[in-house]
Amino acid sequence: MNGFIGIDLGGTQLRVAVADARGTVKSVIRVDTEARRGPDHVIDHIVETIDRALAKSKQGRRGVAAIGIGLPGPLNGATGMVYSPANLPGWHNVPLGKILTRRTGIRTFLEHDASLAAFGEWRRGAGKGRRHMAYVTVSTGIGAGFILQGQLYRGAGGIAGELGHIVIQPGGPLCTCGNRGCLEALASGTAIARMARDAVAGRARTSLRGLEGPNRPDARDVNQAAKRGDAVARRVLDQAGTALGVGLGTLVNLLNPELILLGGSVMKAGGLIRTPMKASMKASSWEAARGGLRIVPPALGQDVGLIGAVEWARDNV
Amino acid sequence: MNGFIGIDLGGTQLRVAVADARGTVKSVIRVDTEARRGPDHVIDHIVETIDRALAKSKQGRRGVAAIGIGLPGPLNGATGMVYSPANLPGWHNVPLGKILTRRTGIRTFLEHDASLAAFGEWRRGAGKGRRHMAYVTVSTGIGAGFILQGQLYRGAGGIAGELGHIVIQPGGPLCTCGNRGCLEALASGTAIARMARDAVAGRARTSLRGLEGPNRPDARDVNQAAKRGDAVARRVLDQAGTALGVGLGTLVNLLNPELILLGGSVMKAGGLIRTPMKASMKASSWEAARGGLRIVPPALGQDVGLIGAVEWARDNV
């Protein structure tokens, strides 16, 4: 009873890590989630992958004290219930925590993926020693996790941290959540791609037009075109950065964190997105609330959720 | 050393309460703040009023264990520093906590007025026993205080809770804080009065035109006209309620509280502001984040800040 398992269950990839008692990851298996085959299949697939990961590190289930698993919300970590994540089709009120505990014989602790990323960065990454910090990832979607008063903040029902779905343009573009004008509908990679395709479909002169295809241009195309000087691509990033700044300004005014860890593929656009972001954040938050605030990239890379899941398992036993 | 003093320092009124060891208020003095005469005068005035309040309840300074004082932010409760509250002219970086401690010989603990109102409602009012709650007051301005994880949340620099200054309409009306499109510039009593005066100055047919005068029509005029069926007044309240709902939706998505205590003079408009508020809150938050949420009025009335200040003093010794 001295090892831990961390799991990062995404819409496309399932990752399982085996760690020792101190949380050091010994082996990782990354496989396709096979999400389209529905929850029963995915759960079987998780259990098999746990056993493969244990075999790879020559351990049995008995040597594992706890499993931590992060996945997209909405979910309730306290009850282990998964409601209906947008990128896990067919999942509706699945008691995943209880199911995995029963199927593996190992106590399983479930949490929102962005919350576990925040927790991982706080325990082992760029957030060590902070009392009030936010982790924000801007990628296909926009996720956030909060450490407040020196602990993971999850709210009354485990739903806190939905930064991607705060409305910053009432009546704006439709979001995957069904509401309009959410931050995610204005500043995520998906939003950037949508704005680019709208521009291509219109009359704008842009090098993005040459890239048309299924799901193209995408956010990466926009970044590259913007770096080449394409004015339309730059305008798209400027709009996304401006929206992101409003979202961060809101975060700052409400929570007054000392640190924001800001990452995700969209941030690879660098100054093209950061410059408008900073200007609009300044125009949408109090100077006093920004005082002492640092905004830096996360430190743990693509396995941040996995490290957070291991740490969450350790924290719960 | 068994009594406490609670002070509520507002832009117009200064209130000082003397309470016993259990926090029961024994006497209250309410006087004009005389804010226009600047910080030195106001501080003298506070000290004199403390002595008057003590004399009224036949106590000396020696019988007081601590002073709690709430005032408008921005300020830092941990250091006792007051930055530059909009309605206390001339105050810039005043170390009020230290000054009052020195002048009275009684340890003084300072906090944002809305935070102390939240704290008072949590300890003695409608928020008893809650782990995650927000107190929101919609009046001349919009203030909020948060109890998170069973304690008052103040953020890294004591500035958390600036709900009135989250931007929900980028580029919108100018706010007193210097930014544009803040919730306070769209849904406060001041905003309602501005919208009403704009309508009167325009061509709208409205009974509000008969009320023109210095600072008229005001938010109360709008409430009364709306209740009589004035369409323009109703539209103004509808707009304010819609904006308020976006702000509350943001609060719910980020913090997922179990309870929001919602009060202030603007809420006296009842359904005329609550109905659009609820609709827009629904359109700007996740169903899962609203699950289990109750929105109810505060219980402690106009002295909530004073009771919170007494409780804050008790909590700090």
Q: Which residue of A has its CA nearest to B243?
A: A170
Same domain, B90 and B156: no
**Which residues in chain A touch residue B168, judged by CB atoms under 8 angstroms apart?**
167-168, 170
d(CA B167, CA B185): 9
Greatest CA separation found in chain B? 64
Q: Which value, to the nearest 10 degrees, does the dihedral of the CA atoms of residues A219, A224, A227, A230 take?
A: -80
d(CA B175, CA B122): 30
Interface contact flag, B256 A155, Cβ < 8 Å: yes
Chain mean pLDDT for chain B: 95
**Which residues in chain A touch residue B180, judged by CB atoms under 8 angstroms apart?**
283
* B172 pLDDT tier (thresholds 50, 70, 90): very high
Between positions 205 and 244 of A, the ones with CB within 8 A of B are: 242
Q: Please state the rounded mean pLDDT for residues B27-53.
A: 97
Q: Which residue of A has its CA nearest to B257?
A: A156
* pLDDT above 70 (res A317): yes
Same domain, A247 and A133: yes
* A203 pLDDT tier (thresholds 50, 70, 90): confident
**Which residues in chain B touch residue A153, judged by CB atoms under 8 angstroms apart?**
148-149, 255
Same domain, A264 and A139: yes
Interface contact flag, B286 A169, Cβ < 8 Å: no
pLDDT value for B86: 80
- Other beta carbons less than 10 A from residue A91's beta carbon: 21
Same domain, B113 and B160: no
* A1 pLDDT tier (thresholds 50, 70, 90): low
- Give me Rg for the CA atoms of chain B: 20
Distance of alpha carbon A202 from the chain centroid: 32
Same domain, A99 and A150: no
pLDDT value for B1: 62
Size of interface A-B (CB pairs under 8 A): 162
* pLDDT above 80 (res A171): yes
The count of domains in chain A is 2
Interface contact flag, B257 A155, Cβ < 8 Å: yes
Order of strands, edge to edge, in the sheet holding B142-148?
A: B151-153, B142-148, B133-138, B259-263, B294-296
Q: Is A180 on the interface with B (CB under 8 A)?
A: yes
Q: How far is B35 from chain A (nearest CA, A)?
A: 22
* pLDDT above 70 (res B62): yes
Same domain, A91 and A155: no
Q: Please state the rounded mean pLDDT for residues B65-71.
A: 97
Same domain, B152 and B286: yes
Residue percentage of chain B with pLDDT more than 70: 100
Which among B165, B254, B288 has CB closest to A157?
B288
d(CA B130, CA B257): 9
**Which residues in chain B touch residue A288, judged by CB atoms under 8 angstroms apart?**
73-74, 83, 157, 159
Interface contact flag, B256 A170, Cβ < 8 Å: no
| Domain CATH for A309 | 3.30.420.40
* pLDDT above 80 (res A152): yes
Interface contact flag, B254 A73, Cβ < 8 Å: no
Which among A153, A254, A283 has CB closest to B166?
A254
Between positions 111 and 140 of A, the ones with CB within 8 A of B are: 131-132
Interface contact flag, A177 B149, Cβ < 8 Å: no
Q: Which residue of B has its CA nearest to A293?
A: B156
**Which residues in chain A touch residue B242, judged by CB atoms under 8 angstroms apart?**
170
Which among A155, A181, A256 has CB closest to B160?
A256
Same domain, B136 and B103: no
- Digit-coded pLDDT (tens) for B179-236: 999 999 999 999 999 999 999 999 889 999 988 888 899 999 999 999 999 999 999 9
Helix or strand (DSSP H, E) at A14 = strand A13-19
- Digit-coded pLDDT (tens) for B110-155: 999 999 999 999 999 999 999 999 999 999 999 999 999 999 999 9
pLDDT value for A25: 95
* pLDDT above 90 (res A217): yes
Helix or strand (DSSP H, E) at A7 = strand A3-9
- Digit-coded pLDDT (tens) for A223-238: 999 999 999 999 999 9
**Which residues in chain B touch residue A284, judged by CB atoms under 8 angstroms apart?**
166-167, 170, 179, 181
- Digit-coded pLDDT (tens) for A253-273: 999 999 999 999 999 999 999
pLDDT value for B85: 86
**Own/partner long-range contacts of A28-33 (Cβ < 8 Å, ≥24 apart):** A28/A53, A28/A303, A28/A306, A29/A53, A29/A56, A33/A9, A33/A88
Tell me the residue type at A304: V
User: Both tokens of residue B59?
Assistant: 């106590």
Q: Is A86 on the interface with B (CB under 8 A)?
A: no
Same domain, B189 and B205: yes
Q: Is B161 on the interface with A (CB under 8 A)?
A: yes
Residue percentage of chain A with pLDDT more than 90: 91
Q: Which residue of A has its CA nearest to B93?
A: A288
Between positions 7 and 66 of B, the ones with CB within 8 A of A are: none
Q: Is A85 on the interface with B (CB under 8 A)?
A: no
Interface contact flag, A254 B157, Cβ < 8 Å: no
Helix or strand (DSSP H, E) at B26 = strand B25-32
Same domain, A55 and A195: no
Q: Which residue of B has its CA nearest to A147?
A: B155
Q: Where are the alpha helices (DSSP H) in B162-230?
A: 184-187, 189-201, 219-227
User: Both tokens of residue B197?
Assistant: 């005066």
Q: Please state the rounded mean pLDDT for residues A74-87.
A: 90
Q: Is A285 on the interface with B (CB under 8 A)?
A: yes
Q: Please state the rounded mean pLDDT for residues B92-116.
A: 97
Q: What are phi and psi of B251, to 5 degrees?
A: -55, -45
Q: Residue B175: which of A235, A193, A267, A253 has the closest Cα?
A: A253
Q: How far is A163 from chain B (nearest CA, A)?
A: 6
Q: Is B162 on the interface with A (CB under 8 A)?
A: yes
* pLDDT above 80 (res A241): yes
pLDDT value for A85: 86
Q: How far is B161 from chain A (nearest CA, A)?
A: 5
Q: Residue A310: which of A5, A3, A1 has the closest Cα?
A: A5
Same domain, A116 and A137: no
- Digit-coded pLDDT (tens) for B283-315: 999 988 998 999 999 999 999 999 999 999 999
DSSP annotation of B269: G
Interface contact flag, A286 B177, Cβ < 8 Å: yes
Same domain, B241 and B270: yes
d(CA B181, CA B173): 5
Q: Is A174 on the interface with B (CB under 8 A)?
A: no
What is the extent of the structural domain holding A276? 129-298
- Where residue A222 falls (left for φ over 0; alpha for ψ -120 to 50; beta otherwise) is alpha
Interface contact flag, B159 A289, Cβ < 8 Å: yes
Q: Residue B254: which of B263, B262, B246 has the closest Cα?
A: B246
Helix or strand (DSSP H, E) at A98 = helix A96-104
pLDDT value for A16: 98
A214 beta partners: none
